[in-house]
Structure 1
Amino acid sequence: MLNVRKSFGGKEVLKGVSLSVKRGCVMAITGPSGSGKSTLLRCINRLTELDEGDILVDGISIRDYNPVQLRRKVGMVFQFPVMLEGSVRDNIAYGLRLLGREEGVERLAREVGVEDLLDNDATRLSGGEQQRVAIARALALKPKTMLFDEPTASLDNENVIKIESLVMKLVKSKGLTVLWVTHDFEQAKRLGHRIAVMRNGRVAMVEHLR
């Protein structure tokens, strides 16, 4: 991404952000509340449109992708995942149906560790279980890049560890590129191959860890 700018109501939230993320690596983006972290993620898959600058995915500007096509390449998981009414199976199958497929629910459930919950009401799962289902639903579209916006901020320590371990396993097994937003600098150090620290809408520092 190069010189990315975004304003809301006359207030500039992103002030010329430039970053590069190596394929198959985890870029942890951290910084205080209001520094532009979540807005940056939303710009990447066009949930929020850029004002200026550009972001390339596989060497192509995001503006040249149909938004639906882009979101198949770039999946996103939020802090509070939305569960569709129905079972865990129904939620995972939703992603597959977008590709015109039906098979693969059981495999995806095993990948994220919810294979024993397939017939459970998805809206009644714990926070950690819902995050796993959201990850499986995103993976159904076979993205090359995953965006995580504070996915463990509302979880207890046990589930934080489980979600972190799952994501790192997926990075290794699938070669996923991950951008992970967190307010927790220690978590950023645990997960990130690189850490970008944002302050006041700018990248203040990039640290290479691995």
Structure 2
Amino acid sequence: MCIQGASGTGKSLLLKALADLIPAQGEVLLQNQKQTDIEPSQWRRYVTLVPAMPSWWHPTAGEHFSCNIDNYLTQLGLPHSIVQQPIHTLSTGEKQRLAILRALQHNPYVLLLDEPTANLDPVSQSRLEQFLFDNFLQQTDRSIIWVAHHPSPWLVDRAQNFTLHGGCLSGDD
């Protein structure tokens, strides 16, 4: 699913509410189970938000991973040496791709992506889209809710597209 909308319409707030990070009204289900019936920390493992500006708590990227990500780095066009680099030396686009990898190591059912390609060049954007399709969406019980100001043709063709305006989602027919 791709959600578009003008800046300030609440796209990021919607993702935070779906991730149970802010109070919200309504009911959210995952595999016929209510969000309110699942422990919040467990829900966030199942429904994982990758914000536009991800947080980092260790000095180097590699310290954020509990598994080997070398193959994934290659698929994303990132050098293997990136895991030893201090976080503050990485570009915003590098941090964004690493944050997605960090989220995937917990094997979520739903990825909530807030502008994941906003800081990527076209080649890196294409690699990320293909990576997510090949490594995440090929699993039948996985979904992505992707917020994008300017979705790529790849995303528009593969996603159910919605616009958020005035607090309401409307589908593009």
With the length of structure 2 as denominator, give the TM-score of the two structures.
0.84
Segments of structure 2 that go 5 or more residues without pairing to the other structure are: none
Q: 1:38 aligns with which of 4, 7, 12?
A: 12
Q: Which moved more, 1:136-145 or 1:153-162?
A: 153-162
RMSD: 2.1
Shift of the alpha carbon at 1:171? 3.1
Q: CA, structure 1 residues 65+206, in 2 after alignment: closer, same or farther (shift >3 Å)?
A: farther
Q: What is the correspondence of 1:59-208 to structure 2 with a 5 Å cutoff? A: 59-93=32-66, 105-106=67-68, 108-113=69-74, 114=78, 116-117=80-81, 118-175=83-140, 176-186=142-152, 188-192=155-159, 194-207=160-173
SS of the equivalent of 1:53 reads: coil
**AA matched with 2:129:** E
Q: Counterparts of 2:70 and 2:23 in 1: how far apart (Å)?
A: 33
Question: Which entry has the higher C-alpha Rg, 1 or 2?
Answer: 1
Query: Which of 13, 22, 46 is the aligned partner of 1:48?
Result: 22
Superimposed CA distance per residue, residues 137-166 of structure 1 (whole angstroms, 9 cap, x where no aligned partner): 111211111110111223333332232222
1:191, distance to aligned residue in structure 2 (A) = 4.5
Q: How many residues align?
A: 167
Amino acid at match of 2:16: R
The structure with the largest strand share of the pair is: 1
- The runs of 5 or more residues in structure 1 that have no matched partner are 1-26, 94-104
- Residues in 1 aligned to 2:137 and 2:72: alpha-carbon distance in whole angstroms: 13
Offset of residue 80 of structure 1: 1.7
Give 1:184 shift: 1.2
Identity of matched residues, %: 28
Whether the 8 Å CA contact 2:73–2:80 is kept in 1: the answer is: no
Deviations 1:109-142 (CA, angstroms, capped at 9, x unpaired): 4224357133222332222221222112111211
What residue is the counterpart of 1:10 in the other structure? none
